[in-house]
Amino acid sequence: METTRGTRRIAAVSLEAARLKLHPGQKATDAFAIAPELTTAEAEPEADAAALAALVDWCVRYSPAAAADAPDGLYLDITGLAHLWGGEAELLADFQGRLAAAGLPFRCAIADTPAAAWALAHYGPGGTIAPPGGQQPALDPLPPAALRLDPEAAAQIERLGLRRLAQLFALPRGPFAKRFGKAALLRLDQALGRSGEALSFRRPPTPWVARLAFAEPISTPEDMARVAFDAAEKLCARLEREGKGARRFELYFHRLDGRSPSVVAGLALPGRDARRVAKLLVPKIEAVDPGFGVEVVTITASEVETLSGRQVKLEGAAQPAVEDGLAPLVDRLVNRLGEERVWRAAPVESHVPELSAARVRPLGPATEARTWDPETPRPVRLFRRPEPLDGVIALTPDDPPSQFRWRGQTHRVRRAEGPERIGEEWWKREIEDVSVAHVRDYYRVEDAEGGRFWLFRAGLYEPGAPAKWWLHGLFG
């Protein structure tokens, strides 16, 4: 039950209600006239979407490429995966069996294109499998609405007496497009595989997937660690065969109750060493709750790159290879602390000090930006937020301060350098937001004890207005 434009309408009906000829979109008053004993509940689109997302996640046991088709459908790309179940028919039977066991009403179909599968699932006999290249005969008897047209276009087509797709397929393309619009023609082409269709998969689809199924559900941590290694080995053997390496491995435990928690391991350099991958995955498995048991595990590899075999060095090289030492270290740290806690500073072509260094992946490719200029002194420690200074005595407009107070201590400046004027990056902002108040004049000063500070005056000098001074960093 939902409210659209001030009218209470039915959003979805149960099987029993459907038998009473109630249908979605019907006014609530009409429905109550037909069935006074009707029980209604408020529609919860968010909960429906969450449930669909959970179902899509669950479907990863069949294929890593699963896409939700809101509000009540989903696509599974099973290209090249059916053999894992022994064929498309067996896969479909398994899928239907599990959905039925979960108590979900469903209709499904397998076809060459998403559009054809959608049409067959919604309007064809349940459980259709269109043979490769043979979806047209299967689509022929369906009504035009199976093409996912706008209701108006579908209604117009029906009004013209075209009740079956076969009649549409027989029409010449030019007049068809003219009469029903380009969108209709596109839908027709998508159904027949003459035009591509982009699905937004819940996860980036990857053809790199391996799957292990068990006769009996497993639940002990030792077993889960072992199957992690077995699954990794299976996938890594395939990567090895095809000369590839992956940066990211994701292991899914498909539990009996339909949930599938996952663990992720990232590598700094693409790799395919099952032992190493398993070693990174195993510590995280502890946090996975096996529930009543895990019956299937799947492992996917993403960020797959070509990786040539490593040459074995005959004599001990003076410089150990990065794969030996650093890469495993970075992997260990990244997987333990998280990706954002391990980095290497990369130069950014920006004169603004806090923007001049970016965090990059430790062993990623070198950036193209020039390295920092060693001749412009920069502090060793840069405060995230500049700290305000008080008691600053400075000759205006351009002289460095001769004395300032910071954290309750007065510092007498003995030597100073500057100013170095650093403006904002005005080309990156709206021109209205750019202001001379954002200009900073930096001074490098040294106090009598030898402490070296990097401080700046905000904004341009204005007679009468007190200057604002900040400490931004320490040279040590």
Partner 1 sequence: MSDFRGKGLAALRAEIAALETGGRAESGFLPFGDLAVDGRLPGGGLPLGRWHEVVGEGLEGETGAAPAAFTALMATPLATRGEAVWVFRRDDLLAPGLIGLGFPAERLIQVCARDEAEVLSVMEDALATVGVAAVIGEVADVDLTAGRRLQLGCEKRGGTAFVLRRSPFGGQARRGIGSTASTRWRVRSAPSEPPAGEFGLGAPRFRVDLERCRGGRTGSFLFEAARPYCLETTDGAHPLRLVADLGDRQLAPAQPLAA
Footprint of partner 1 on this chain (CB under 8 A)?
319-320, 322, 324-326, 328-330, 332-333, 337, 341-347, 353, 356-357, 359, 362, 371-384, 407, 409, 414-417, 444, 446, 448-452, 473-476
Q: How far is the CB of 317 from partner 1 (least distance, A)?
A: 11
Q: 119: buried, middle or exposed (CB in 10 Å: 19+, 13-18, 0-12)?
A: buried
Our CB check for partner 1 shows the closer of 118 and 406 to be 406
Our CB check for partner 1 shows the closer of 175 and 408 to be 408
Q: How far is the CB of 56 from partner 1 (least distance, A)?
A: 34
Our CB check for partner 1 shows the closer of 293 and 418 to be 418
Task: Compute how many other C-beta atoms are within 10 angstroms of the C-beta atom of residue 5.
Answer: 5
Q: How far is the CB of 404 from partner 1 (least distance, A)?
A: 14
Q: State how far the Cα of 91 lies from the Cα of 89, in Å rounded to an integer.
A: 5
In Å, what is the CA distance from 471 to each residue of 188, 321, 377, 389? 67, 43, 15, 7
Q: How far is the CB of 439 from partner 1 (least distance, A)?
A: 20
Our CB check for partner 1 shows the closer of 125 and 320 to be 320
Enumerate the H helices of 181-325 as residue ranges.
Answer: 182-192, 221-241, 274-285
Q: How far is the CB of 424 from partner 1 (least distance, A)?
A: 18
Six token digits for residue 79: 């290209």
In Å, what is the CA distance from 238 to each residue of 131, 213, 243, 278? 28, 18, 9, 16
Task: Compute how many other C-beta atoms are within 10 angstroms of the C-beta atom of residue 125.
Answer: 10
Our CB check for partner 1 shows the closer of 70 and 352 to be 352
Q: How far is the CB of 437 from partner 1 (least distance, A)?
A: 25
Our CB check for partner 1 shows the closer of 152 and 449 to be 449
Q: How far is the CB of 277 from partner 1 (least distance, A)?
A: 18
Our CB check for partner 1 shows the closer of 298 and 356 to be 356
Walk across the sheet containing 262-271 and list its strands: 209-218, 294-306, 244-255, 262-271
Q: State how far the Cα of 354 lies from the Cα of 379, in Å rounded to an integer.
A: 11
Q: How far is the CB of 241 from partner 1 (least distance, A)?
A: 29
In Å, what is the CA distance from 81 to each residue of 60, 65, 210, 320, 371? 12, 11, 10, 41, 48
Our CB check for partner 1 shows the closer of 226 and 452 to be 452
Owner of token pair 């004169």:
351
List the one residue out of 144, 78, 152, 140 whose CA is nearest residue 108: 78
The interaxial angle of helices 274-285 and 326-337, nearest 10 deg, is 20
Q: 253: buried, middle or exposed (CB in 10 Å: 19+, 13-18, 0-12)?
A: buried
461 within 8 A of 441, measured Cβ to Cβ: no
Q: How far is the CB of 325 from partner 1 (least distance, A)?
A: 3
Our CB check for partner 1 shows the closer of 159 and 384 to be 384
